[in-house]
Every structure is written in C-alpha cells, then in structure tokens.
C-alpha cells in the first residue's frame, strides 16, 4: 500500500519544528508501523536526507521506549497496543498519517519524534520502591499474599512507562503512571511500611513535572497495557490518608 505521511521534524530541543510530507510506497500490510518508518528512512538515506529519529527498542510492546502521536492518538488507533505493535493492516491504501511526538512540559523534545521522559524516573526515585537491601529478605513464602491482591498488584505493575498516558491526557497529567506504581506497592504487604511516605513523595514530584487529573479517562484508553483509572482513585485515597497521617506524625 501507499501512504502519505506528515511527520514532525525538529533538529534539536530548541530548534523550531515543522511538518514534512513524505510518501511511503509499497508498504506491506504485515509490516509494523515502525518498519514502515524504517522503510521511509531507507528511502531518505538513499536520497541523502537525514532519516527521521523516533523512539523504539524491543519492538514487542514491553520496553516502553516507543511512542508516537498518530492522527491525534497516542500509540495510534488500536486500543491496548504500543506503537511498535501497531501493524499496517490497520490502514488502507492512500491513507494520510500525521505523526507527532508526545508533547508535554515533562517530556521535552530531543529531536524529531524523540522526547525525554526522565521525569518518570524522578517520580520513581521519590518512593517507587520497597526499602530492602540485597540479602536482607525473609523467605519468599513467609508472607502469604491473597491471589486477588497479587493479581491486582500485577495489573498495576504491567505499566511499561511509555508515557502515552501523559501524551493522551488533555492536561498533560501523569496520574495513571504514578498511581500504577504507587498502587502496585501499596496493595502488597511488602509495601505497607512505606505506604504513605511513598504516596506523598511520588505525588509531590509528579506535580512538579505534570498537570492535574480531570478524570477524563483518555489515559486509560491510550495505555498499551490497559491500566485502569481505578488506580488513580486509589492513589487519591491514599494521598488523603497520607496527608492526614503526616499531620498526626507531626
């Protein structure tokens, strides 16, 4: 199939950006979206033009590196699918695709379609862990965890940190990402001792970088792992309790 692409090109973080139009010719419908971009890049290199920079690595939907805004949707039209797992059979011959980088203050553009997402790491550093030095752990079966709890934690833990939630959110908010990690640890027995400290710390850093939640649910729809906004509500509850507990502790 043949497609027309309008791709955001931007030489560097401070350079002005613009859309460039490219023709993607002879694309197989079994190609992935990123392989389609590979093909376009091969053409560009042959013509002596710098290839389009985009984020990608594992190409199997788990590393969370990839992420594009395709025709106004983070990761494109397929629900529960990262950009790398989007396949061209979704499109028809002659379609026009507008490809933009994820945009948010917390995700500065580095080049073309590549953005920096280190703000996510700052959020994790603010408490997205259990304090347990290597070698100090008790036997793994010492504390039983109900299957439902373990499953709920896993639902939250499935987050790949791609940032589509922020990209899709009309407010540029990172509630889904943050609440997923908070909830994973806060529902498990291992996470209890640091539960409130974690919640306060991570929310504070989140709000330094990102917007606020207006409960639109666009993040959930964009999430390649289908993470539920229920976790946002759980975070809100823990935050209130944590603030209250903080007052008592003082």
Partner 1 sequence: MTVLDSRVPDGPLESKWEDHKFDMKLVNPNNKRRFEIIIVGTGLAGASAAATLGELGYKVKVFTYHDSARRAHSIAAQGGINAAKNYHGDGDSVFRLFYDTVKGGDYRSREANVHRLAEVSNSIIDQCVAQGVPFAREYGGLLDNRSFGGAQVSRTFYARGQTGQQLLLGAYQALSRQVKEGNVELITKSEMLELVVVDGKAAGIVVRDLVTGEITRHSAHATVLATGGYANAFFLSTMAMASNVTAAWRAHRKGAFFANPSFTQIHPTAIPSSDEFQSKLTLMSESLRNDGRIWVPEDPDESRHPADIPEEERDYYLERRYPAFGNLAPRDISSRAAKVVVDEGKGVGPLKNGVYLDFADVMERLGHDAVADKYGNLFEMYERITGEDPYEVPMRIYPAPHYTMGGLWVDYHLQTTIPGLFSIGESNFSDHGANRLGASALMQGLADGYFVLPYTIGDYLAPMLGQPKVETSAPEFDQAEQDVQARIEKYLNTNGTRSVDWFHRELGKLLWDYCGMERTKEGLEKALSEIPALRAEFERDVRVLGSAESLNSSLEKVGRVADFFELAELMCKDALVREESCGGHFRAEHQTDDGEAQRDDENFAHVTAWEWTGDPGDPTEHREQLDFEYVTLTQRSYK
Partner 2 sequence: MTTMQTTAPARSSRTPFLVELYRSALGKKYVMAITGLIFMGYVLAHMLGNLKLYQGAEEFNTYADFLRRLLYPIMPESATLNLMRVVLVIALVLHVVAAAQLTAMNRKARPERYRSKRDFVAADFAARTMRWTGVIVLLFVIYHLADFTWGWVNPAPEGASIYERVVASFQVPAISAFYLVANLALGVHLYHGVWSLFQSMGWVSRRFNHWRRMLAVGFTVVVIGGNLSFPIAVLTGIID
What is the contact surface with partner 2 in residues (CB under 8 A)?
6, 8, 19, 69, 71-73, 77, 79, 98, 100, 103-106, 131, 133, 168, 170-173, 193-194, 196-197, 199-200, 203-204, 207, 209-218, 220-222, 229-230, 232-240, 242-250
**How does DSSP classify residue 5?**
E
Closest CB to partner 2 among residues 9, 59: 9
150 binds, among partner 2, partner 1, none (CB under 5 to 8 A by kind): partner 1
Closest CB to partner 2 among residues 57, 72: 72
94 binds, among partner 2, partner 1, none (CB under 5 to 8 A by kind): none
Which 3 state secondary structure label does DSSP give 74? strand
> Which residue bears the tokens 């990172």?
174
Instruction: Give me the least distance between CB of 83 and partner 2, in Å please.
Output: 15
Closest CB to partner 2 among residues 14, 47: 14
Q: Which residues of 82-119 are buried (b: 16+ CB within 10 A; e: fewer)?
A: bbbbbbbeebeeeeebebbbbebebbebebbbbbebeb
Which 3 state secondary structure label does DSSP give 209? helix
The residue among 74, 98, 79 whose CA lies nearest residue 7 is 98
């Amino acid at each position: 199939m043949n497609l027309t692409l309008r791709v955001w090109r931007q030489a560097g973080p401070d350079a002005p950006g613009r859309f460039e139009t490219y023709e993607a010719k002879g694309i197989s419908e079994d190609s992935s979206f990123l392989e389609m971009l590979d093909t376009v890049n091969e053409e560009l290199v042959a013509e002596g033009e710098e290839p389009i920079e985009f984020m990608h690595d594992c190409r199997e939907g788990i590393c969370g590196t990839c992420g594009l805004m395709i025709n106004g949707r983070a990761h494109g039209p397929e629900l529960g699918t990262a950009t790398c797992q989007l396949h061209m059979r979704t499109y028809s011959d002659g379609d026009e695709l507008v490809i933009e980088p994820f945009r948010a203050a917390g995700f500065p553009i580095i080049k073309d379609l590549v953005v920096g997402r280190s703000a996510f790491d700052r959020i994790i550093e603010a408490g997205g862990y259990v304090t347990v030095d290597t070698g100090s752990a008790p036997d793994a079966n010492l504390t039983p965890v109900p299957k439902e709890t373990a499953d709920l934690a896993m639902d939250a833990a499935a987050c790949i940190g791609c940032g589509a939630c922020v990209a899709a959110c009309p407010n540029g908010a990172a509630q889904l990402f943050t609440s997923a990690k908070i909830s994973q640890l806060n529902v498990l027995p291992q996470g209890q001792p640091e539960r409130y400290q974690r919640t306060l710390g991570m929310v504070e850093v989140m709000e330094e970088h990102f917007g606020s939640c207006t409960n639109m649910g666009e993040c959930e729809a964009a999430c390649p792992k289908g993470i539920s906004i229920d976790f946002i509500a759980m975070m809100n509850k823990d935050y209130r309790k944590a603030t209250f507990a903080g007052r008592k502790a003082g």
